[in-house]
Structure 1
Amino acid sequence: MGKKLEANGLFESSRMMLPEHREAYQAYMREQERRGKPVLDDQEMQRIEQTLIESYNRRMPITVVVFNPFDDEELRGIVTNVNTGLREIKLVRGDEDYSWIKLEEIISVIT
Structure 2
Amino acid sequence: MEAKHLSLKPVETTYIKKTDTRPRPEKDEQAMEALIRTLAVAIFTERETIITVWSKYEEQSFRGIITELDKVHRTIRIENNEEYSWIPLEDVLDMVIITDDLAPAFPDTNRVTGMRKESLFPL
TM-score bracket for the superposition, by shorter chain length: 0.5 to 0.7
Task: Give the structure 2 partner of residue 100 of structure 1.
Answer: 86
Query: What percentage of residue pairs aligned between the two structures are identical?
Result: 26
Question: Stretches of 4+ moved more than 2 A in 1?
Answer: none
Number of equivalenced pairs? 81
Unaligned runs of 5+ in 1: 1-28
Alignment correspondent of 2:54: 67
Compare relative contact order (CA 8 Å, sep 6+) and give the higher one, 1 or 2: 2
The 1-side partners of 2:28 and 2:54 are apart by 16
Call closer, same or farther: CA 1:108–1:96 in 2, change over 3 Å.
Answer: same
Choose which of 28, 41, 48 in structure 1 pairs with 2:35: 48
Say which structure is richer in strand. 2
Q: TM-score, normalised by structure 1?
A: 0.68
1:30 shift after superposition: 3.0
Deviation string 1:17-75 (CA, Å, 9 cap, x unpaired) is xxxxxxxxxxxx732x1111110111111111111111111101111111011110001
CA distance in 2, matches of 1:51, 1:100: 17
Residue 30 of structure 1 aligns to which amino acid in structure 2?
K
TM-score, length-normalised on structure 2?
A: 0.62
Structure that is richer in helix per residue: 1
Cα RMSD (Å) of the superposition?
1.3
- The answer for unaligned runs of 5 or more in structure 2 is 1-16, 98-123
